[in-house]
Chain A
Amino acid sequence: MSRRSVGELSRYLLEGRISQRGCINGRRLSSRTVPVWSSLRPPYALRQLHTHSEPAAATEAAAAPQPAHVPLRKQLKEQAKQAKKLGKKKTKGDSQTVDGWELTVGIEIHAQLNTSRKLFSPAATSFNDEPNSHVALFDVAMPGSQPLFQKETLIPAIRAALALNCEIQPVSRFDRKHYFWWDQPSGYQITQFYEPFAKKGHITLLARDGISTEDGESVTVGIKQVQLEQDTAKTLAQTGNVHWLDFNRVGVPLIEIITEPEIHHPRTAAVLVRKIQLLLNTVDSCVSGMETGGLRADVNVSVRKTDDPSKKLGTRTEIKNLSTIKAVEDAIIAERDRQIRQLEAGGVIAGETRGWTIGSKETRRLRGKEGEVDYRYMPDPDLPPLVIGNDLVQRLQTSLAVLPDTELDKLVSHYGLTPKDALSLITLDNGSRVQYFYRVLALLESKLQAEPDISELPEVKSYSTLAGNWILHELGRLTTYKAGPLASGDLSFTQLGECAQVPEEELSQLLYHLYRKHITGKVAKELLMAVYLGELEGGILEAINSNDLWFKEISQEEYEALAAEAAEGEDKVLEEFADEQKYPQGKLMYLVGKMMRLGPTERIDPAMAEKAMRQWIERFHGR
């Protein structure tokens, strides 16, 4: 589907004008030039601006890892970038392997736990609150203050470890990791170096997760350990050589997840980070994803020649602080290629720490081994061992949320969604979109059940796929308007799956009538847009009734007459249907299209028209 220009959209939205090519969703329009919902608008479009902007300001949808529909501006940028890339370099698809070399990657992921208190002080955790408004004495390392472990931080931490199939250790300990930096007021970070609370886990990545094709159907990566640790303060760079410090973040609980070095393809590494993010979200361990700063990854990269499998792993380098999933893949590719170039030129790889800037093509050296900090790990003498009872672990295990893979399987097998759509549904809006799907589906089901003459419910898949399609694609399309001058705002979902802009009651009503063919798809889409823009005061049903949008389908006889009329003068086309072996579907659709144009507007079901035309052709050829 082609995208509209911003200018075109603004003319349309502000002045109600529309290009001849049709309405906003790109489908062909009938003879009517003004969309149905424009007739529902109050006379003064400008007044709408205020009311529309409110929901936009109130909430902002959380960034999703792979939105089904990216905003227009972003997409344009993305396209331009892509075009530039294609012109210069081979595409990423080719860069998963390098002949003669094996890549090995291990990843460390830092994730902010979803807790209300800091790890060692009762100060509240916060996000974007007034700087330095949640700071306890211990957080700023006040002399004489002491750490107080906050038990409740264990709940999301254990959940995360369980989602990663780890063994929870009955006794673990806290250690101090020393280094000087201004964002670390005590001069050390409290972490779990010697005895972490969870060990020996694993995560399985499937083909549908998007792993590199070289990894086949699935690949399992070991999780070496999961440890609890403190976050640092936030540095707010000012002009000149000035830094401001916000201690709200200092001491916020993190988990660090360390994988075994068992990943051999860049995309699989990226997929692993994305999947861990998804898992942490699902089990309610983690507040936010990478894009909102709640997740950071360090990757360890090494290469070795494939012809000597007994050989030890090559010297590894660590790339620190990758903040997007794309950066994980790009940085690994760049670092692998750099190492191979170095080795092929007869050089050696230095064990060092490197950095990556988004958009760059090369990793850059941060510090070498000689500049490595000796962290001088020491057991924290103020903190007792952390003893985790088996009862707590058992309880959290039984109450653990359904993991995405299980849910995905159900969405595919039971609800008939494609794996791609199912994955999008689960990942969008931090898992809220799929909750919305269940809500809409439940209402749609109850409407179907309420039908007076229903003996049994129709096959689930027949309406669940419709709902899935609309919740993903049609809703996704709505937000493409946000780049326009009206900026009607994003769709936002609560964690329970409620949507203020398109309430589940409205959408299920809409889908019910669509499913039962009481309205056409085109009318349904226009109604959806009207709901989204808050223009339907009386709701869907009222709008259909008052504007008489019911689908009044023509009779079977009228279909047959239309088919005959459309076939008139198309002898050449009809000849092509003579050979039964090679059915010319395109030609058939051409004739159906003609029927649609000839017939009365908004009263023809394309499927019925196609059926009538097919029958007419069969008869024509005497079959």
Chain B
Amino acid sequence: MTAAVVRRSALAKTKWHLNSYRSDAKPFRLAVKDNIATEEFPTQCASGVLGQHASPFEATIVRQLRARGASVVGKTNMDEFGMGSHSVHSIHGPVRNPLAPAGEEVTAGGSSGGSAVAVAINDADIALGTDTGGSVRLPAAYTGIVGYKPSYGMLSRFGVVPYANSLDTVGLLARDVESIRQLVFDTALYEEHDSSDPTSLSVETRQRCSKAVPPTLPKLSQLTIGIPVEYNIDELDPAIREAWSATASALEAQGARIVPVSLPSTKEALCAYYILAPAEASSNLAKYDGVRYGIRGPEADAAGETLYSEARGAGFGAEVKRRILLGTYSLSSEAMDNYFIQAQKIRRLIQQDFDRVFRLDNPLYEPRQFDLSEMSADTALEDKQGPVQVDFLLSPTAPTYPPKLSDIMKRSSIDAYMNDVLTVPASLAGLPAVSVPVKIEQSHQFPAGLQLIAQYWDDRRLLALADKVMKLMAV
């Protein structure tokens, strides 16, 4: 059977290399997160169970970027299977933030921490990461670079080892917005459907979505940018809040209209995320039983005893085991209705919250008439049409500056989950979001990461705005 798989891959290889380079290819160095399959490097997902795994095929996104001039410089460290916010749960050890002062060990964020660092220290021009609940945006914010999570279904996931399929997206990290925008839009990457990925949008849907969003960003004076009030949480570091507010003021000074908006379901987002993502993870990781993938223990798994417990016990790290158990519980017949089903309902509410505040309709759904009674009582009305609608949302990416690794180790896993509170809503709604570094005077040694969120498929304008914000706030 291995032979069959290898034959397939050999065939595929020939095919890929026949049309390898596009005429507009510009050479660049690409770092690839370890959960994205590449042919010449192992694909281990920073996990013991895949310690020996060499993928017989290459992910579509890697192939697409190779055709655009990418040379893969290496695979990057991460949290095991993407589960973590600080890139510390790895068989290779934790990732360290290069911006930290000498002698201090500070988190680079996760789970795509290795990708962020590769870009931050100029080992790569572009890095591929995956963003399930903030795993590209968070390390970008901590390391002072740009992290972009595209609309769900835009970039192919074929060859990406899934953590939670319905949330997973392939994201890009770079030192500036422009190189990401060029790669995704100037080379028409966003138009390419991948028939190997059932969640990759069809060409027709892509065209329909593209028609539903304006092609270019207007002047700032014609834009309304929302400040989601629910994101102003108590845990927010005052300096981050200051960066947020300074950025909003700078945009306002440029003529943009800044308005507060309410996304009332935000409070439930983190809970919903930590039900849904582990549920899918527990299912996805069921394959690592030591038969095809993973390590077999010396003990035979006799019938009647628990099958494969030893193989699974030995291969996975603590955080992965914790999430598998969490997901296994929320899918069990006694908990399904109270957890998994409820979380799915919340997910829908969150997506509707976003649809209500964005001026553009979500091209994936029929336009929906929102009833005032569905909104919270203190929602300010713009006019008789209802509350104000916005083009983009601006928020911090992370509640704090990157903490020290020693502090992270002391914290409970629930505290660690808190870190995702600002990034998870866009993931649940499948919306595009980007984190850009912002520096304010007399500020912290680290830049603050600010997040911009847009309506579905409004990625091109989102990146254009992100570019403006980054340049505006560069010190």
Q: Which residues of A contact B (CB under 8 A)?
A: 131-137, 140-149, 176, 178, 180-182, 185-188, 241, 245, 247, 374, 376-378, 381-384
A381 in contact with B307 given A132-B1, A143-B55, A176-B283 (CB within 8 Å): no
Q: Contact at A146–B196, with CB atoms within 8 Å?
A: yes
> Is B198's beta carbon under 8 Å from chain A?
yes
Residues of B within 8 A of A376 (CB): 282-283, 328, 331-333, 336
Contact (Cβ within 8 A) A185 B287: yes
A sample of 6 cross-chain residue pairs with beta-carbon separation below 8 angstroms, ordered by A number, consists of A146-B157, A148-B198, A187-B288, A188-B283, A376-B332, A381-B165
Q: Is B188 an interface residue (CB 8 A)?
A: no
From the candidates B55, B195, B199, name the one contacting A144 in the complex (CB within 8 A): B55
User: How many Å from the CB of B289 to the closest CB on chain A?
Assistant: 6
Chain B residues with CB under 8 Å of A136's CB are 8
Are A180 and B1 also in contact (CB < 8 A) when A143-B37, A147-B198 are? Answer: no
List the A side residues contacting B56 at CB < 8 Å.
137, 142
Nearest 4 interchain pairs by C-beta: A187-B286, A132-B1, A376-B331, A381-B166
- A149 and B198 contacting across the interface, CB-CB below 8 Å: yes
| Interface membership of B4, Cβ < 8 A | yes
Chain B 304-339: CB-based contact to A (< 8 A → 1; otherwise 0) = 000110000000000000000000100111001000
Q: Give the interface size class of chain B.
A: 35 or more
Contact with A along B274-315 (1 / 0, CB 8 A): 000001101101111101110000001000000110000000
Instruction: Report the minimal beta-carbon distance from B340 to chain A, rounded to whole angstroms.
Output: 7
Q: A144-B36, A145-B159 are in contact. List 12 more A-B contacts (CB 8 A).
A: A132-B3, A132-B4, A135-B1, A135-B4, A135-B5, A141-B293, A142-B5, A143-B37, A144-B161, A146-B197, A376-B332, A384-B198
Query: A367: nearest residue on chain B (CB-CB)?
Result: B304
Q: Hey, which chain B residues are within 8 Å of A378, CB to CB?
A: 279-280, 283, 331, 340
B9 to chain A, nearest CB (A): 8
B293 to A381, Cβ gap below 8 A?
no
**Given A143, A147, A178, A245, which contacts B283 in the complex, CB threshold below 8 Å?**
A178
A142 and B1 within 8 A (CB): no
> In whole angstroms, what is the CA distance A612 to B204 when docked?
86
Interface 1/0 per residue, B354-395 and A, CB below 8 Å:
000000000000000000000000000000000000000000
Say yes or no: is B50 at the interface (Cβ < 8 Å to chain A).
yes
- Give the shortest distance, in Å, between B207 (CB) and chain A (any CB): 18
Contacting B291 at CB < 8 Å: which of A147, A148, A182, A382?
Answer: A182
Q: Are B283 and A247 in contact (CB under 8 A)?
A: no
Taking a contact as CB atoms under 8 Å apart, the answer to whether A181 and B307 are in contact is yes
The answer to whether A383 touches B308, judged by C-beta atoms less than 8 angstroms apart, is no
B190 contacts chain A at the CB level, 8 A cutoff: no
With an 8 A cutoff between CB atoms, is B45 at the interface? yes
Alpha-carbon separation in the docked complex, A381 to B5 (Å): 25
Interface residues of B (CB under 8 A from A): 1, 3-5, 8, 36-37, 43, 45, 50, 53, 55-57, 59, 157-162, 164-166, 195-199, 279-280, 282-283, 285-289, 291-293, 300, 307-308, 328, 331-333, 336, 340
Indicate which residue in A137, A178, A186 contacts B5 across the interface (CB closer than 8 Å).
A137
What's the Cα separation between A384 and B160 when bound, in Å?
A: 18
In angstroms, Cα B1 to Cα A131, docked, is 8
Q: Does the CB pair A381–B164 fall under 8 Å?
A: yes
Are B289 and A187 in touch, CB under 8 angstroms? yes
User: Would you give the shortest CB distance from B101 to chain A, in whole angstroms?
Assistant: 38
State whether B197 touches A381 (Cβ < 8 A).
no
Inter-subunit contact A133/B4 (CB<8 Å): yes
B307 touches A144 (CB 8 A): no
Task: Write the nearest CB–CB distance from B343 to chain A, whole angstroms.
Answer: 12
Pairwise interchain contact B286-A180, C-beta atoms closer than 8 A: yes
Across the interface, do A180 and B283 meet the contact criterion of CB distance under 8 Å? no
From A144, A180, A188, contact of B160 by CB (8 A): A144
Q: Which chain B positions have C-beta within 8 A of A133?
A: 4
Q: Which of A147, A185, A188, A382 neighbours the largest number of chain B CB atoms within 10 Å of its CB?
A: A382
Q: Is the interface of A mostly helix, strand, loop or mixed?
A: loop
- Contact across chains for B161 and A143 when beta carbons are under 8 A apart: yes
Cβ contacts under 8 Å, A131 to chain B: 1
- Name the contact of A178 in the complex, choosing from B50, B158, B286, B336 (C-beta under 8 A): B286
Q: Which residues of A contact B197 (CB under 8 A)?
A: 146
CA distance A448 to B36 in the complex (A): 74
* Chain A proximity of B323: nearest CB distance (Å): 14
Q: Is the CB of A374 within 8 A of B55?
A: no
A443 vs B45: C-alpha distance in the bound complex, in angstroms?
69
Among candidates A134, A135, A141, A142, residue contacting B57 with C-beta atoms closer than 8 Å = A142
- Minimum CB distance partner of A138 in chain B: B196
A384, B332: Cα distance in complex, Å: 23
Q: Is the pair B196, A141 in contact by a Cβ cutoff of 8 Å? A: no
Give Cα A383–Cα B300 distance, bound, in whole angstroms.
35
Q: Which of B1, B196, B285, B300 contacts A247 (CB 8 A)?
A: B1
A148 touches B196 (CB 8 A): yes
Closest Cβ of chain A to B83, distance in Å, is 15
Given the known interface contacts A188-B283, A376-B331, the answer about A146 and B198 at a Cβ–Cβ threshold of 8 Å is yes
- A149–B197 CA distance with the chains assembled, in angstroms: 11
Interface centre among A133, A145, A176, A181 (most CB of B within 10 A): A145
Assembled-state Cα–Cα distance A145/B161 (Å): 8
Contact A137 B1 (CB under 8 A): no
* Chain B residue at smallest Cβ distance from A131: B1
Residues of B close to A141: CB separation below 8 A: 287, 292-293
Q: Which residues of B contact A182 (CB under 8 A)?
A: 289, 291
B55 contacts A245, CB within 8 Å?
A: no
User: Which of B1, B300, B336 contacts A241, CB < 8 Å?
Assistant: B300
Residues in A with CB closer than 8 Å to B1 are 131-132, 135, 140, 245, 247
Taking a contact as CB atoms under 8 Å apart, the answer to whether B45 and A143 are in contact is: yes
Residues of B within 8 A of A374 (CB): 332-333
B158 and A146 within 8 A (CB): yes
Q: Which residues from B are CB-within-8-Å of A381? A: 164-166, 280
Complex: chain B residue closest to A371, CB-CB: B304
Give the chain A neighbours of B283 by CB distance below 8 A.
176, 178, 187-188, 376, 378
Given A143-B53, A148-B198, A188-B286, A382:B293 Cβ within 8 A: no
Residue on A nearest B58 in the bound complex, by CB: A144
A147 to B287, CA, bound (A): 14
CB of A446, distance to nearest CB on chain B (Å): 52
Q: How far is the CB of B293 from chain A (nearest CB, A)?
A: 7
Determine how close the nearest CB of chain A comes to the CB of B10; give it in whole angstroms. Answer: 13
- Cβ–Cβ < 8 Å partners of B280 in chain A: 378, 381
Question: In the complex, A378 Cα to B157 Cα: how many Å?
Answer: 20
Picked from A135, A144, A186, the residue with its CB within 8 Å of the CB of B159 is: A144
Which of chain B's residues have a CB closer than 8 A to the CB of A377? 331, 336
Which of B282, B286, B328, B340 has the largest count of A CB atoms less than 10 A from its CB?
Answer: B286
Contacts of B292 in A (CB 8 A): 140-141, 185
The answer to whether A143 and B293 have CB atoms under 8 Å apart is yes
- A185 adjacent to B37 (CB under 8 Å): no
A187 touches B300 (CB 8 A): no
- Measured CA separation A382–B4 after assembly (Å): 25
Q: Which residue of B lies closest to A247 (CB)?
A: B1
The interface residues of chain A lying within 8 Å CB-to-CB of B36 are 144
**Distance of A187 Cα from B308 Cα, bound (Å):** 11
Chain A: minimal CB distance from B217 (Å): 32
**A376 CA / B336 CA spacing, docked (Å):** 8
Complex CA–CA separation, A147 to B158 (angstroms): 10
Which of A144, A188, A384 is within 8 Å of B158, CB to CB? A144
B111 to chain A, nearest CB (A): 16
- Chain B residues closer than 8 Å to A134, beta-carbon distance: 4
A143 & B50 in contact (Cβ 8 Å cutoff): yes
Question: Which residue in chain B gives the minimum CB-CB distance to A134?
Answer: B4
CB distance from A382 to the nearest CB of B (A): 5
Residue of B nearest to A149 (CB): B198
Docked-complex contact A143 and B307, CB < 8 angstroms: no
Whether B287 pairs with A143 at a CB distance below 8 angstroms is: yes
> Which residues of B are found within 8 Å of A149, using beta-carbon distances?
198
Query: B198 to A137, Cβ gap below 8 A?
Result: no
Q: Give every chain A residue within 8 A of B293 (Cβ-Cβ).
A: 141, 143
Question: How far, in whole Å, are A188 and B164 apart by their CA atoms in the complex?
Answer: 15
Q: How far is the CB of A126 from chain B (nearest CB, A)?
A: 12
